[in-house]
Copies of this chain bind each other. A is one copy, B any other.
Amino acid sequence: MRAPVRDTNMSLIHTLDLCAVAVCAITATLEAHRRDLDLFGVAVIAVIAGIGGGTVRDILLGRLPVYWVHDPIYVVVGIAASVATFFLGRRLSIPKNFFLLPDAFGLALFTVIGTTVALNLQVHWFIAALMGVITGVFGGVIRDILCNEVPLIFRTDIYATASLVGALLLILLDTLGLERLSSILIAMLVTVSLRLAAIRWHIHLPRLRPHP
């Protein structure tokens, strides 16, 4: 593995990461509209949607305490985004598609961050890709379990597949010797494109036909 990207890049990624947490918290809060939850419940579910994936990744890899214990700003941003959405969301009428692009961007960003974190720990490339996917999608999985639903990503189009392709591409480009930052940008572009293409043309994986 090569040295980590420069400090300016790290601080750019940190800022983007916080934006992705905020987007996750906002969409989770809007979805919670349908349920009989109080402000506390909505905020907790929103924060978990934002930081859950990275938390599971850190626990499995043994990077403890988990990342937001050292950097509470992640939790603060998640709570702030959720509370603001909770009170504004009643008045504003946000079109359903408004968050599709930010959401795809968040998936891509979480995926490359998770993969990079694992690569820096020198784990097997397959595990690094898995950690990218876990970081990308497990916040949503825990959110859905807390809301007592079968997690959306198990039922819907190629959300997690887009994340997996992005993680594998990042690792491939990295192995081929491309600069880390370029690999990250290309992997993110492909993940976002795949995700949006899947939504636009209703692409999905094979599905089991229920037994008659």
Residues of B within 8 A of A35 (CB): 150, 208, 210
Task: Tell me, yes or no, whether A155 is within 8 Å of chain B by CB.
Answer: yes
Q: Hey, what's the 0/1 contact readout for A89-101 against B, CB within 8 Å counting as 1?
A: 0100000000000
Q: Min CB distance, A86 to chain B, in Å?
A: 7
Task: Tell me, yes or no, whether A75 is within 8 Å of chain B by CB.
Answer: yes
Residues of B within 8 A of A177 (CB): none
Q: What's the number of copies of this chain in the assembled complex?
A: 3
Task: Tell me, yes or no, whether A4 is within 8 Å of chain B by CB.
Answer: no
Q: Which of A13-21, A38-46, A187-195 touches B?
A: A38-46
Known: A145-B146, A148-B149. A154 touches B38 (CB 8 A): yes
Number of interface residues of A (CB under 8 A): 59
Residues of B within 8 A of A176 (CB): none
Task: Tell me, yes or no, whether A130 is within 8 Å of chain B by CB.
Answer: yes
Residues of B within 8 A of A158 (CB): 40
Q: List 9 A-B contacts (CB under 8 A).
A: A37-B154, A39-B205, A39-B207, A41-B155, A62-B64, A72-B130, A75-B130, A146-B150, A148-B149
